[in-house]
């Protein structure tokens, strides 16, 4: 990468740089936690897309976002005054095994901005080597960057906690993976990028004072309520468990598979983070494995909730030196076991139009999922059509099944349950379900179509998808293709960890 010269910026548009206020609070932790590290420039950066809603959160004017200067800043070719680029160190468990030191191998923190939406950290992914790159090149390819950019904004549109994506730029610079591809940079934004792995790093090294410092930092800035009595670190573990339970319920309820739930890919804020081989389910298969590299199926759809608990256990283990005893950590993890199923039940009930969970609803949900699995029914299309059927004909839902009598029997139970709700209003239920069950999700084949066009230099499909995914509950003209059943070739798409 050092052979690449910084591009000639003399012809940049003369839109003044925005007056960002940088607080860079992570850097106050001290140099045990990171290494100062400026991005390595890429040649000829081009805009692929940027998210107007994240730009507004940061207070970045649209006119500046459109500028060449902004493309350079968000490719890592120019550092804004006040930004302090650095890479952080973390460790983690990968595929169930302790992997030792990892760290930001290709993510560079530009710093933290005191933004209109509150303090937000800004990170470039793919902006060059860091001390933690190990054998990697510090780069990200266009293909995986399009997927991360779009899915971050899609998850936000769905109301699911996630790191956001401000910008996506591309460069013709070659990046070697299985084949030669080209480079891209995603600018990610979040209140914090701290992972479970950051805690594991200091704990495993016996660096208890740094562990405490990190935990205090997270509590002070993100979980102040943990200081209201008892052991604050146990309270932190419990609070992270609660957020993670809620997150996992949201993933399961929308048919989202993360694909690489290693402890270094788990956010301490309960955000979805590190989009790699993720997938929204097409045909429902509870054992679906979206990551082609996950040969054992550790991260299959139906194992995700238990893996999240396993990961929380690792976090508990890491925080143990700050607690009174082991029981305190176990007690802090306990609520996950009740909170996750309750949250899932509530969300699945809402998907069926149920205002409250009653005994027997579990079976109603479970029986539908079994029918869906047996007939490989499309997850998103099923719930969307079911939403319309709350106040309309059942045929479009029935048509999705091979075993229609079985579906009819289930539908009769569902309708009886709906109509038994106090003050049942079919039209209102339909509307509520249409706000719960998305019309459009970022299916693999949709991303794939946008990727193929982008490789030809045409970014229109990325931009069209961004717009559609930011409002995924709306049915708009001209977007039928985005909501349709996947084409046959979609089942053949293989997404691996390579990115």
Q: Is 272 helix (H, G, I), strand (E, B) or coil?
A: strand
| Residue of 57, 264, 294, 378 marked catalytic | 264
- In the complex with ligand AMP, the residue whose CB is nearer, 104 or 181, is 104
Kindly state whether residue 139 participates in binding ligand AMP, applying the rule CB under 6 A: yes
Q: Where are the beta strands (DSSP E) in 139-179?
A: 140-141, 164-176
- Which residue number is nearest to Mg ion in terms of Cβ? 274
Question: What is the smallest separation between the CB atom of 369 and ligand AMP, expressed in angstroms?
Answer: 30
Closest CB to ligand AMP among 59 and 131?
131
Q: Is there a contact between 302 and 281 (Cβ–Cβ < 8 Å)? A: no
Q: How far is the CB of 103 from ligand AMP (least distance, A)?
A: 5
Q: Which two tokens stand for residue 393?
A: 């004909």
Q: Which residue number, 70 or 260, has a Cβ lying nearer to Mg ion?
A: 260
Run of H or E including 107: strand 107-115
Among 27, 42, 102, 333, binds ligand AMP (CB under 6 A): 102
Of 232, 259, 276, 353, the one binding ligand AMP (CB under 6 A) is 276
Read off the tokens for 376.
């490989």
Q: Which is nearer to ligand AMP, 380 or 444 (CB)?
A: 444
Residue count at the site for Mg ion (CB under 5 A)?
Answer: 2
Contact 378, 282 (CB under 8 A): yes
Nearest one of 103, 108, 109 to 133, comparing CA atoms: 103
Residue 321's CB: how many other CB atoms inside 10 A? 14
DSSP lists the bridge partners of residue 279 as 257
- Phi first, then psi: what are they for 369, rounded to 5°? -60, -35
Residue 230 binds which entry of ligand AMP, Mg ion, none, with Cβ cut-offs from 5 to 8 Å by kind? none
Q: Least distance in Å: CB of 318 to Mg ion?
A: 17
Segment near ligand AMP (CB under 6 A); pick from 61-69, 128-136, 437-445, 452-460: 128-136
Q: Is 260 in the site for ligand AMP (CB under 6 A)?
A: yes
**In this structure, are strands 97-101 and 91-94 parallel, antiparallel, or unpaired?**
antiparallel
Where is 372: in which H helix or E strand?
Answer: helix 361-375
Smallest separation (angstroms) from Mg ion to the CB of 181: 19
276 binds, among ligand AMP, Mg ion, none (CB under 5 to 8 A by kind): ligand AMP
Helix (H, G, I), strand (E, B) or coil at 449: helix
Distance CA 336, CA 395 (A): 39
- Active site (annotated) includes residue 264: yes
Task: Choose which of 274, 282, 375, 378 interacts with Mg ion (CB under 5 A).
Answer: 274
Regarding 265 and contact with Mg ion (CB under 5 A), the answer is yes
Using the rule CB under 6 A, which residue among 52, 59, 61, 105 binds ligand AMP?
105
Q: Select the binding partner of residue 288 from ligand AMP, Mg ion, none (C-beta < 5 to 8 A, by kind).
A: none
Give the contacts of 401 (CB within 8 A, at least 6 positions apart): 371, 375, 377, 407
Please answer whether residues 152 and 145 qualify as being in contact, where contact means their C-beta atoms are separated by less than 8 angstroms.
Answer: no
Report, in Å, the least distance between residue 68 CB and Mg ion.
30
> Is the CB of 330 or the CB of 497 nearer to ligand AMP?
497
CA angle 111, 188, 35 (to 5 degrees): 40
Q: Among 266, 263, 268, 237, which Cα is nearest to 251's?
A: 266
In 177-327, the DSSP E strands lie at 180-190, 256-257, 279-280
Out of 274, 294, 375, 378, the only residue in the binding site for ligand AMP (CB under 6 A) is: 274
Nearest residue (CB) to ligand AMP, 133 versus 415:
133
Interface with ligand AMP: number of residues (CB under 6 A):
16
CA 363/CA 380 separation, integer angstroms: 20
| 497 contact, one of Mg ion, ligand AMP, none, CB 5-8 Å limit per kind | ligand AMP
Q: Contact positions toward ligand AMP, by CB under 6 A?
A: 102-106, 132-133, 136-139, 260, 265, 274, 276, 497
- Positions touching Mg ion (CB under 5 A) are 265, 274
Catalytic residues: 264
């Amino acid at each position: 990468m050092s052979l690449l010269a910084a591009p000639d910026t003399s012809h940049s548009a003369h839109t003044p740089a925005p007056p960002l206020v940088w607080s860079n609070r992570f850097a106050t932790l001290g140099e045990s936690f990171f290494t100062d590290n400026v991005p390595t420039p890429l040649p000829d950066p081009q805009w692929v897309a940027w998210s107007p809603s994240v730009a507004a959160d940061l207070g970045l004017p649209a006119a500046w976002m459109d500028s060449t200067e902004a493309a350079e800043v968000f490719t890592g070719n120019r550092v804004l005054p006040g930004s302090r680029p650095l890479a952080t160190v973390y460790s983690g468990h990968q595929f169930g095994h302790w992997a030792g030191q990892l760290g930001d191998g290709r993510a560079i923190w530009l710093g933290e901005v005191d933004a209109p939406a509150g303090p937000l950290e800004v990170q470039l992914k793919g902006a060059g080597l860091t001390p933690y790159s190990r054998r990697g090149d510090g780069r990200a390819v266009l293909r995986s960057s399009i997927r991360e950019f779009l899915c971050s904004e899609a998850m936000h549109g769905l109301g699911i906690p996630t790191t956001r994506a401000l910008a996506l730029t591309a460069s013709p610079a070659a990046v070697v993976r299985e084949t030669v591809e080209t480079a891209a940079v995603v600018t990610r934004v979040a209140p914090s990028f701290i992972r479970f792995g950051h805690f594991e790093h200091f704990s495993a090294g016996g660096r208890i004072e740094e562990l405490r410092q990190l935990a205090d930092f997270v509590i002070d800035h993100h979980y102040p309520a943990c200081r209201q009595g008892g052991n604050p670190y146990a309270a932190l573990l419990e609070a992270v468990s609660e957020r993670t339970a809620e997150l996992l319920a949201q993933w399961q309820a929308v048919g989202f598979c993360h694909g690489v739930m290693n402890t270094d890919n788990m956010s301490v804020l309960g955000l979805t983070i590190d989009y790699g081989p993720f997938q929204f389910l097409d045909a429902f298969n509870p054992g679906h494995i979206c990551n082609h590299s996950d040969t054992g199926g550790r991260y299959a759809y139906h194992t995700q909730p238990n893996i999240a608990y396993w990961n929380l256990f690792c976090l508990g283990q890491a925080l143990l030196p700050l607690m009174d005893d082991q029981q305190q950590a176990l007690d802090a993890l306990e609520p996950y076991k009740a909170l996750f199923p309750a949250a899932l039940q509530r969300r699945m009930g809402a998907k069926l139009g149920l205002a409250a969970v009653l005994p027997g609803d579990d079976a109603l949900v479970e029986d539908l999922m079994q029918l869906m699995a047996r007939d490989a029914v499309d997850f998103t299309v099923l719930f969307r059509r079911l939403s319309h059927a709350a106040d309309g004909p059942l045929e479009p839902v029935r048509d999705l099944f091979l075993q229609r009598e079985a579906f009819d029997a289930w539908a009769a139970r569902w309708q009886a349950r709906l109509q038994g709700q106090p003050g049942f209003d079919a039209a209102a239920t339909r509307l509520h379900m249409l706000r719960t069950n998305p019309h459009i999700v970022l299916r693999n084949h949709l991303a794939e179509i946008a990727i193929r066009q982008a490789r030809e230099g045409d970014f229109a499909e990325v931009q069209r998808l961004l717009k559609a995914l930011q409002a995924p509950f709306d049915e708009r003209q001209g977007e039928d293709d985005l909501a349709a059943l996947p084409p046959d070739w979609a089942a053949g798409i293989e997404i691996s960890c390579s990115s």
